[in-house]
Structure 1
Amino acid sequence: MTFGINRVHLGVQISYTEFCPPKMPKVATPLTNTKIQSAKSRDKDYMIADGKGLRIRIRKNGTKDWIFLFQLPFTNKGADVCFGLYPTVSLAEARERRARTLEPPMDH
């Protein structure tokens, strides 16, 4: 999507579309164990993204669980899967489960 404003300055037409790069999607900063451990409970549940649909949800009672958000392939509807509680399911294990969930099923 491009938009532009054309201005004339000192007889030279300037198009601002050249100076406005396209908006890039937000890329989540990968989580670390330190960041997860330091996440404190709040008045409401909230999530911190790891990227590619993987998030950790911090509940108001202090428990932390892994949530994976994805789209169902045929219906394109959003769905989520809980991978388990942190620290029972580690960061590395949650990422591994995300990778296994994203890979296409093998034909038998």
Structure 2
Amino acid sequence: MPKLAIPLTDEQIAGLAPRDRPYKISDGHGLYLLVEPTGKKRWRMDFRLRGRKNTLAFGIYPDLSLADARQQCLNTNQLIRDGIDPVEWKRQQRRQAQAAAPATRKFRLSMNDQGGMVIEISSHRMALTVQQVAALRAFLVATGDEIRGE
């Protein structure tokens, strides 16, 4: 029979001091706070699915509040009851978010006095002649893409 954990309070969490070794303070339902020797306090949850023990990390306190960590724990327990691996589910959510996010790169454009252009992306640099800039403009106009900065 599992032990009953007394729910944590924000005052208790704020008063937790680091020790020589990491230690756990349980909140219940598998949720606990891992206090590291550096003083960082990480929300974690241990669970069993299909006979295997696993750990899921939620975030760092106080960036992730006690109430938010409890809500994530309840959501995770629901996934486990439905037979869904929460670690794999979290990975899949991250992949979907990355696929939905537009691929952007930071770059810098500069024009010289003759009408040429220099494009710089991190360690790469490309210089365009006046004729190449004109061809690029014509291409952008022909494809219907906007030209900004004019």
TM-score for both structures, normalised by structure 1: 0.71
Aligned to 2:35: 58
Percent identity over the alignment is: 39
Aligned to 1:81: 56
The runs of 5 or more residues in structure 2 that have no matched partner are: 83-150
Q: Return structure 1 stretches of 4+ with deviation > 4 angstroms.
A: none
SS in 2 for 1:92: helix
Structure 2 Cα separation of the partners of residues 52 and 89 of structure 1: 17
SS in 2 for 1:97: helix
Aligned to 2:134: none
Structure number with larger C-alpha Rg:
2
Aligned to 1:90: 65
The two structures, once aligned, show a CA RMSD in angstroms of 1.6
> Which of 1 and 2 has higher RCO (CA within 8 Å, sep 6+)?
1
Q: 1:1-108 counterparts in 2 under 5 A?
A: 25-72=2-49, 74=50, 76-103=51-78, 104-105=81-82
SS in 2 for 1:88: coil
Bigger helix share: 2
Distance apart, 1:26 and its partner CA = 1.9
Amino acid across the alignment from 2:72: R
State how many pairs are aligned: 81
